[in-house]
Amino acid sequence: MTVTIRPAEKRDVLAVAELIEEIERFYGSTEIQPLEERRFQVEEALFGSPPLASALLVEDETGGLVGLAAYSFLWPAAGSSHSLFLKELYVRDTLRRQGVGARLMDELRALAAGRPGCSRVEWMTDRDNPGARAFYKSLGFAEFDGKIVYRVDTGTA
């Protein structure tokens, strides 16, 4: 199957909101936010002022959305440089193991390399996600043991 990878555009907001439900279900969530709330949050995150994130989208031959890579630039990274932080990489199960995820990672690395002052690409995966860990290892990426992740809820959804 031929796919196209491109930056998200405002016309994609509804399709991204729908794909996010699929991602939530993939990770085991049973309490799914109403579509209109998700649509609003996607629009605000990707196209608000200022945008909170960016996304690369994967379209199939029919123009349907079948994957995404959501990312943000973070500062500081090494010294005074910044980094591209990959928050979510998702490819619909019907297209997995066909090189789509690897192409998304290549696109992200090219985005980071093409941005002056961007020193690296960073991301996380769950320790109990052997599929993701094997995928990143197959691309030649080593796991980094140096960080512990903390999280606190703000009380808002």
Q: How far apart are CA 31 and CA 155, in angstroms?
A: 16
For the chain, what is the total number of helices (H) and then of strands (E)?
Answer: 4, 5
Expressed in angstroms, the distance from the first to the final Cα of the chain is 37
Check residue 153 and give its pLDDT: 84
Secondary element (H or E) of residue 122: strand 118-123
Q: How far apart are CA 53 and CA 66, in angstroms?
A: 19
Phi, psi of 122 (to 5 degrees): -130, 155
| CA dist., res. 123 & res. 128, Å (int) | 15
- Per-residue confidence (pLDDT) for residue 95, from 0 to 100: 87
C-alpha–C-alpha distance, residues 56 and 101, integer Å: 11
Predicted TM-score (pTM) of this structure: 0.89
Rounded Cα gap, residues 43 and 60, in angstroms: 22
At 157 the pLDDT is 60
pLDDT of residue 80: 87
SS3 of residue 86 by DSSP = strand
Which ranges of the chain have pLDDT less than 50? Answer: none
